[in-house]
């Protein structure tokens, strides 16, 4: 369905329509992901941080590293990490070389949880873009890049 129909808007400038379309579509995709993640007890930002930690391949990450790599830069990563620790999915150790820093690592339990989530999440993403060819998707990603600049 066209975005104008969805938000029941009269015709609007193409630029405004495009921006609304991106934000609306992102909401749809986020909700789909959140729904899938809910059964695993994770929110989307929590899931993303867990994936970042896994990407460290054993090396711990400090808070600023995590923030750099987050899709949704949020002001308060401390409390998000707290939640992961409460659930036993991550651990926090104060860095000995620089005691201002903390080192955060994913636990075995965290890795195990992620391994369960990978397949359903990839399936979800595949479905989302199934109507576009690889070539179209590459073009589409390039366009997004241009919009961000």
- Binding footprint of a copy of itself on the chain (CB under 8 A): 1-3, 7-10, 13-30, 33, 55, 68-73, 121-122, 125-126, 128-129, 131-132, 134, 136-138, 140-141, 143-149
Which neighbouring-strand residues pair with 52? none
CB 46 within 8 A of CB 106: no
Looking at the Cβ atoms of 96 and 141, the one nearer to a copy of itself is 141
- List the beta bridge partners of residue 115: none
17: how many CB neighbours lie within 10 A of its CB? 16
| Residue 20 binds DNA (CB under 7 A) | no
Q: Is 81 in the site for DNA (CB under 7 A)?
A: yes
Beta carbon of residue 10, minimum distance to a copy of itself (angstroms, whole number): 7
Question: How remote is the C-alpha of 71 from its chain's centroid?
Answer: 5
């Amino acid at each position: 369905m066209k975005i104008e129909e969805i938000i029941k808007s009269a015709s609007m400038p193409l630029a405004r329509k495009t921006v609304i379309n991106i934000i609306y579509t992102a909401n749809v995709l986020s909700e789909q992901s959140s729904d899938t993640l809910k059964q695993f007890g994770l929110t989307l930002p929590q899931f993303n941080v867990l994936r970042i930690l896994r990407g460290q391949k054993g090396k711990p990450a400090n808070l600023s590293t995590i923030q750099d790599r987050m899709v949704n830069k949020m002001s308060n990563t401390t409390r998000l990490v707290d939640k992961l620790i409460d659930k036993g999915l991550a651990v926090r150790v104060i860095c000995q070389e620089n005691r201002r820093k903390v080192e955060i690592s994913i636990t075995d339990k965290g890795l195990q949880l992620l391994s369960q989530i990978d397949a359903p999440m990839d399936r979800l993403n595949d479905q989302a873009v199934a109507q576009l060819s690889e070539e179209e998707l590459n073009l589409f990603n390039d366009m997004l890049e241009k919009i961000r600049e």
